[in-house]
Structure 1
Amino acid sequence: MKTVFLLQHSYEINQIEYTKTIGIYSTRDKAQDVINKYKELPGFKEYPEDFYIDEYHVDKNEWQEGFLSSSAFED
């Protein structure tokens, strides 16, 4: 099964989450190489520990269940 690696940078300020999708890579090592470069860039260097690599399998549904929307909590 083909695997890809999604690289994102995500941090929170004043209870607001900021997430940037940086790219999708064929290996974890390639994604890590990008992290090493981006850690020196403005904005990213202020949050150097907030990079995330997630592994995904191509043509596989990662989300298997339903979800509750915010309207489900209103009554």
Structure 2
Amino acid sequence: MGDRVFLLWHVHHVAEDESGAVKHFEPDGEFSAHEEKGDDVKLLGVYSSRENASARIERAKELDGFCDEPECFHIDEYTLDEDEWTTGFVVV
């Protein structure tokens, strides 16, 4: 298995669901981010461990804007030098 990295994201949510409520999570509990509906997605950094990314979350929660949505951080884990998108795409 290759080296792992951890990308830390924050989303300022504005996208609404069908009822008009701002949507933070999908119905299945998955993290929600809909840039096409106005959500502001920010990459805070790339870290060598989940612990380092989590420590950054705690520091960011003290900052303007981030403190208003303290549950809206998300850590993605990736393997270095591994293809993530392995198929083509079609423009609609």
Q: TM-score, normalised by structure 1?
A: 0.84
1:9 corresponds to 2:10: yes
Question: What is aligned with 2:50?
Answer: 28
Higher strand share: 1
1:38 corresponds to 2:60: yes
List gaps (5 residues or longer) in structure 1: none
Q: Quote how far apart the aligned CAs of 1:51 are.
A: 0.4
Q: Quote how far apart the aligned CAs of 1:66 are.
A: 2.6
User: Partners in 2 of 1:12 and 1:23 — Cα distance?
Assistant: 19
User: Partners in 2 of 1:42 and 1:23 — Cα distance?
Assistant: 17
Q: Quote how far apart the aligned CAs of 1:12 are.
A: 2.0
User: Partners in 2 of 1:47 and 1:65 — Cα distance?
Assistant: 35
Q: Quote how far apart the aligned CAs of 1:59 are.
A: 0.3
Q: Secondary structure at the match of 1:45?
A: helix
User: Partners in 1 of 2:87 and 2:71 — Cα distance?
Assistant: 30
- Detail structure 1 runs of 4+ shifted over 2 Å in the superposition: 65-69
Report the RMSD for the aligned CA atoms in angstroms: 1.2
Q: TM-score, normalised by structure 2?
A: 0.70
Q: Secondary structure at the match of 2:13?
A: strand
Question: What is aligned with 2:34?
Answer: none
Question: What is aligned with 2:78?
Answer: 56
Which amino acid in structure 1 is aligned with residue 61 of structure 2? K
List gaps (5 residues or longer) in structure 2: 16-36
